[in-house]
Structure 1
């Protein structure tokens, strides 16, 4: 490993000739302000950390730096296929992409304005005196289509028209140009400006030409043994302070050498699953793909290395249409059968993997199977089936659902596995008392009553709140009831955030009478016919409250059991 200084001019000469980005690198994400702050730091002689390079002859896809920085650029057009081949020597930037791409754009390239699509170049204010402004930057930098003014120096000139000129000549030329802006300046102010120009130009030229501002740590994979697997591990560690890379990122890096579109395909799947405002990331669809092909739930880049990796990727590619269909069916199941429109009603995303595994091997399940799939989902969430050793559990489930099951979701075998592992398998009264389950249980109730989830809203700010039918503050202050009696599932309902703010402190009889008169279907909230028909029965006394609350809890339990214990004959009691 070498550790040496290198001039920015030399780095710019090497970019896209011998110096590239490995395909594992994420896209350029720095905003213009971050680019400006890097320049400001360099003008102040602040250290900006070393760059980490890797010299290799391995067959790794090489991506070029952007001559014109475009955010959300199509990276597929930036690959240098000839340089990617095995046996061709190249150097990859493992750490420092954002900084080096910024410097390349400032001194030898440009950026494309996201709104106007104008090509903009970097201009530095050479008259800056080094005093921080309101934005904290002492050396202003602008991106513009043309010169913003006489005091603004085009940085790209240093690698083109001014490449052979000394810092002294450049500064003197700028000072002569600035003489037209001297009216009204005192001799002292004029000398100060001239001094600032000389000092700033000297620093800018030094940044480009001298071997002292940028230090390179290089892993020499040509002369020494730095295999791809080791470099991947180093890469993820050195990037942990920036955009965090996980096992899925490393697997995509290994896969994209053979199937460039795989990451885009999987991200598209994740986006589709997230249409309901859920929080799937791309690692879960990737885990699903590996599991369905019998390779286990653990995500490691080694699964796509060597002949076995080629075989797995070929299998995924060959059956991609089947996988995509299974993901579409999962998306429809989440939306239409489970009615999940919020991350608040999902406690374990790992529980979705066996569902996809089943759909991959048993496409288009009938209504009975979909009800059993829903029962499995809610059991997994309520009973914590995937709360620990998730990959181990997923692998066990693959043995149950990862094969043709005769068109029937095998809920019995699944329950048997979890019962042997000491988990609950049927909904009981204890689950109704667990405050962590209130959103999920109420979602089941409202889906049953209204046919859709109350979280299915266009305006995210109006997602439902938990509301106490009998106001909790009054129950505590008037009747001195404790938390267990007040925060009770029988007293909970959902109400839109906007409606909740309008409720004020009305007593339940008055409030629900007003809603009924306004045409609101209060029976779907109260769940009890007598009170729905006559809200004045919701009298304001402890006995009436407890009687209502307990009867309503029984109704909630009845609805929830019908969904969560769907495999049980109607009327059969709950148990393990």
Structure 2
């Protein structure tokens, strides 16, 4: 391993000549213009830049060239360099520093592509650098332009083209001579500007030519032993900051050479599962599912799974079995949308809980209604009782014994429940759950889906996601009936209401408010749950006796619904504690 300075000019020349390349494990270029400008600003201030990490090797690793013109939507397959990708051909890969080097190449040697596909070159105002620019914390602001800009803007590419053989003093003198007649300045302002132009040109030329700004740590895989597996491990560790490399990125990288479509297939799967971005499945999720289905365990960060003979076997199995896997993912998506009615990440506590569902569907496609009911119950228990919270991958692997096989008797809910019960987890709904504010969003969602057949989060307009609302207004309960938070925030007094309606909703008495909704033809049963109140909201008088009776009756109905859906226990409807009374509601409290 060597650690030495290198000039930016030499590195950009190596990029140009395809001597400095990117391994296929590198992700695409992702920096935006602001990040590119900030790097330039830092270098102009002489701020230190993190060490670059290179790897010199002759191994047959697929090599990708840097982009001459930065296109963030580029098809990376068009950038591969076949003649450098074969065995026994020496090449140097950038393991850490892609974003910085690609930025500097675009600034000093190339360009960036705008949304209209025009090539934009970088220009710097040579008079800047004496004070921070208004509204920013930077001394320099680059402009990217498809057309040549006039002075005081200077084209950065000139330093490697037109002015490449000229010294900094000569370049600066010529530029100052050209600026003198076009700027209106006092003698002092001209002196300061001339000095700043000299400094800026000298700094940029030093950045390019001197071996003092950029340090490179090079892993010599030719003279020393740096095998691919070790390099992959190093690569994951050094990419822990900046553009972070995930474990799934590593798996893609290790497998793509043998199956180019694997990343695209899994990305399409994630997009499908996310239901138009309403959920937040990550790329690691389908990889976990595939690994478990092929007996490799849920851990996606073990390099040994993806390399050597083991990796070849895994890849062969994934490729040959993709149609079956894709069908299971589609069934999982349908289950999420049609059975669980999940339309918001807010009611998903752990995405790991879905992996056993995939495993079951992979081995048991098209389950019957009885199985689907047990699958729904499993999912709700896993979320409510946080079964996968502490050790997700280990728990997924433990589920392997139950769901990664043909299950003629249907989804093995009883075995799974027994497993978690033995380990001290809660497995059934309790009264304490109904008083747990952390659970109320999940609990109300389950009840609404059961009662209305759709999720309260399945809204037509973005921004109208539901809020938890008090049926009896909390301020009036506190101020006029002397109720404490425990009674006011009891789940029996809570419902979901769209954000827009919640803003418009006044602190009306419930008999008035729900009576008005009923006259407007709105079905109150999905909100009030207790049919006699939904039929006759006038009985929802604002007194302590009625409020307590309503809250307890509705709470009992919520518990009954949860027991039926989550615990698969159908309890009898409790008797109503109130007598139906259609007499006028109590007058509004002033």
Same fold by TM-score, threshold 0.5 exceeded?
yes
Q: Deviations over 1:437-472 (max 9, x none)?
A: 211221122112222101011333211111111122
Alignment of 1:175-214 (within 5 A): 175-182=176-183, 184-214=184-214
Identify the range of structure 1 (81-90 vs 342-351) with the bigger mean alpha-carbon deviation: 81-90
Q: What is the match of residue 369 of structure 1?
A: 371
Identify the range of structure 1 (123-132 vs 342-351) with the bigger mean alpha-carbon deviation: 123-132
Q: Cα offset for 1:340?
A: 0.6
- Measure the CA separation in 2 of the matches of 1:437 and 1:44: 52
Q: What is the match of residue 436 of structure 1?
A: 438
Q: What is the match of residue 349 of structure 1?
A: 351
- Measure the CA separation in 2 of the matches of 1:525 and 1:188: 76
Alignment of 1:122-137 (within 5 A): 122-128=122-128, 130-134=130-134, 135-137=136-138
- Measure the CA separation in 1 of the matches of 2:8 and 2:246: 31
Tell whether 2:237 aligns with 1:237.
yes
Q: Deviations over 1:73-105 (max 9, x none)?
A: 221211222212232221111221111111101
Identify the range of structure 1 (283-292 vs 133-142) with the bigger mean alpha-carbon deviation: 133-142
Q: What is the match of residue 7 of structure 1?
A: 7
Q: Cα offset for 1:245?
A: 2.6
- Measure the CA separation in 1 of the matches of 2:264 and 2:131: 46
| C-alpha contact 1:130 1:139 (8 A) present in aligned 2 | no
- Measure the CA separation in 1 of the matches of 2:530 and 2:391: 42
Q: Tell me the secondary structure at the aligned position of residue 376 of structure 1.
A: helix
| C-alpha contact 1:365 1:407 (8 A) present in aligned 2 | no
Q: Cα offset for 1:119?
A: 0.6
Q: What is the match of residue 462 of structure 1?
A: 464
Q: Tell me the secondary structure at the aligned position of residue 153 of structure 1.
A: strand
Q: Cα offset for 1:283?
A: 0.8
Q: What is the match of residue 393 of structure 1?
A: 395
Identify the range of structure 1 (70-79 vs 228-237) with the bigger mean alpha-carbon deviation: 228-237
Tell whether 2:267 aligns with 1:259.
no
Identify the range of structure 1 (416-425 vs 308-317) with the bigger mean alpha-carbon deviation: 416-425
| C-alpha contact 1:168 1:202 (8 A) present in aligned 2 | yes
Alignment of 1:229-378 (within 5 A): 229-275=229-275, 277-299=278-300, 300-378=302-380
- Measure the CA separation in 1 of the matches of 2:518 and 2:333: 36
- Measure the CA separation in 1 of the matches of 2:487 and 2:112: 62
Q: Deviations over 1:275-298 (max 9, x none)?
A: 161111111111000001111112
Q: Tell me the secondary structure at the aligned position of residue 436 of structure 1.
A: coil
Q: What is the match of residue 79 of structure 1?
A: 80
Q: Cα offset for 1:247?
A: 2.4
- Measure the CA separation in 1 of the matches of 2:32 and 2:512: 55
Q: In the alignment, which of 508, 511, 517 is matched to residue 510 of structure 2?
A: 508
Q: Tell me the secondary structure at the aligned position of residue 219 of structure 2.
A: strand
Tell whether 2:429 aligns with 1:427.
yes
- Measure the CA separation in 2 of the matches of 1:571 and 1:349: 34
Alignment of 1:16-55 (within 5 A): 17-55=18-56
Q: Deviations over 1:195-241 (max 9, x none)?
A: 33333222222221122221111122222222223323322222222
Q: What is the match of residue 586 of structure 2?
A: none
- Measure the CA separation in 1 of the matches of 2:313 and 2:559: 49
Tell whether 2:126 aligns with 1:119.
no
- Measure the CA separation in 2 of the matches of 1:364 and 1:479: 53
- Measure the CA separation in 2 of the matches of 1:538 and 1:477: 18
Q: Which runs of 5+ in 2 are unaligned?
A: 575-590
Q: What is the match of residue 530 of structure 1?
A: 532
- Measure the CA separation in 2 of the matches of 1:156 and 1:256: 36
Q: What is the match of residue 152 of structure 2?
A: 151
| C-alpha contact 2:428 2:566 (8 A) present in aligned 1 | yes
| C-alpha contact 1:247 1:301 (8 A) present in aligned 2 | no
Q: Tell me the secondary structure at the aligned position of residue 462 of structure 1.
A: coil
- Measure the CA separation in 2 of the matches of 1:571 and 1:87: 76
Change (3 A) 1:259 1:533: same
Identify the range of structure 1 (129-138 vs 315-324) with the bigger mean alpha-carbon deviation: 129-138
Identify the range of structure 1 (202-211 vs 428-437) with the bigger mean alpha-carbon deviation: 428-437
| C-alpha contact 2:560 2:573 (8 A) present in aligned 1 | no
Change (3 A) 1:190 1:432: closer
Q: Which runs of 5+ in 1 are unaligned?
A: none
Q: What is the match of residue 172 of structure 1?
A: 173
| C-alpha contact 1:432 1:489 (8 A) present in aligned 2 | yes
Change (3 A) 1:537 1:88: same
Q: Deviations over 1:360-416 (max 9, x none)?
A: 111122222212211111121122222233222212212211112227222222223
Q: Cα offset for 1:11?
A: 0.4
Count of residues in Structure 1 that have an aligned counterpart in Structure 2: 570
| C-alpha contact 1:468 1:492 (8 A) present in aligned 2 | yes
Change (3 A) 1:90 1:545: same
Identify the range of structure 1 (388-397 vs 316-325) with the bigger mean alpha-carbon deviation: 388-397
Q: Deviations over 1:91-123 (max 9, x none)?
A: 111221111111101111110112x22111111
Q: TM-score, normalized by length of structure 1?
A: 0.94
- Measure the CA separation in 1 of the matches of 2:573 and 2:454: 27
Q: What is the match of residue 67 of structure 2?
A: 66
| C-alpha contact 2:528 2:534 (8 A) present in aligned 1 | yes
| C-alpha contact 1:57 1:90 (8 A) present in aligned 2 | yes
Q: Cα offset for 1:535?
A: 1.1
| C-alpha contact 1:366 1:407 (8 A) present in aligned 2 | no
- Measure the CA separation in 2 of the matches of 1:215 and 1:403: 54
- Measure the CA separation in 2 of the matches of 1:157 and 1:529: 79
Q: Tell me the secondary structure at the aligned position of residue 106 of structure 2.
A: helix
Q: What is the match of residue 417 of structure 1?
A: 419
Change (3 A) 1:542 1:226: same
- Measure the CA separation in 2 of the matches of 1:519 and 1:181: 74
- Measure the CA separation in 1 of the matches of 2:92 and 2:157: 24
Q: TM-score, normalized by length of structure 2?
A: 0.92
